[in-house]
Amino acid sequence: MPTQLALANIAEMVQLQSWFQSAEQQQSWGGDNFDYPCNELRFLELLCRPATQSYSLSDTDSGLLLGFGQLCDRFERHHLARLVIHPQHRGKGLARQLIFELIIQALSQQQRDISLYVHRHNKVAVQCYSSLGFIPDRPPEQENPRLYFMTLSAADAINRANDYLAQS
């Protein structure tokens, strides 16, 4: 299915709220400070962080929102955050597309290492990120035993992004 990465709009961000069916799911994705349940305004307040760009991955033909991710400057790296694929479209390789499109976006701004956090219990996400070249690394801030800090070097990100583009 053809997809497109674009800056997320408010309507797309509001849709994300329905993708989570419990406080555990929402906090695993968005952080411990995410109230559940919460109203749309509170959800958007928690989602929209300073100096953070929100992106949507949509089906080019239908416009259906398939995924979401954020990109920010953190730890002197490009940091990926709040990555999620629509529950009905998981297992179709869309996480790979979302992550590589975000990496390409980041590297077009500046060539720097890429980082992300992932909950240790989220084995599917950990395997996905590992398969894309991310490796567990020492966290640059106080370690949270529930999270892995993972990085991808700029050089490796460039090579892998070029391979992704060649296959697309």
For residue 43 the two structure tokens come to 């959800």
What's the CA dihedral at 44, 48, 49, 50 to 10 degrees? -130
Instruction: Write out pLDDT tens, residues 120-145.
Output: 999 999 999 999 999 999 999 999 99
pLDDT given for residue 144 in this prediction: 92
pLDDT at 40 over 90: yes
Instruction: Write out pLDDT tens, residues 81-107.
Output: 999 999 999 999 999 999 999 999 999
- What sign has the CA pseudo-torsion 136, 139, 143, 146? negative
pLDDT given for residue 33 in this prediction: 87
DSSP string for 74-127? ETTEEEEEEEEE-GGGTTSSHHHHHHHHHHHHHHHH----EEEEEETT-HHHHH
Q: What is the rounded distance in angstroms from the CA atom of residue 44 to the CA atom of residue 16?
A: 10
pLDDT given for residue 1 in this prediction: 85
Domains identified in the chain and CATH numbers: 3-167 (3.40.630.30)
**Could you tell me the pTM of the whole model?**
0.95
Query: Strand pairing partners for 147?
Result: 119
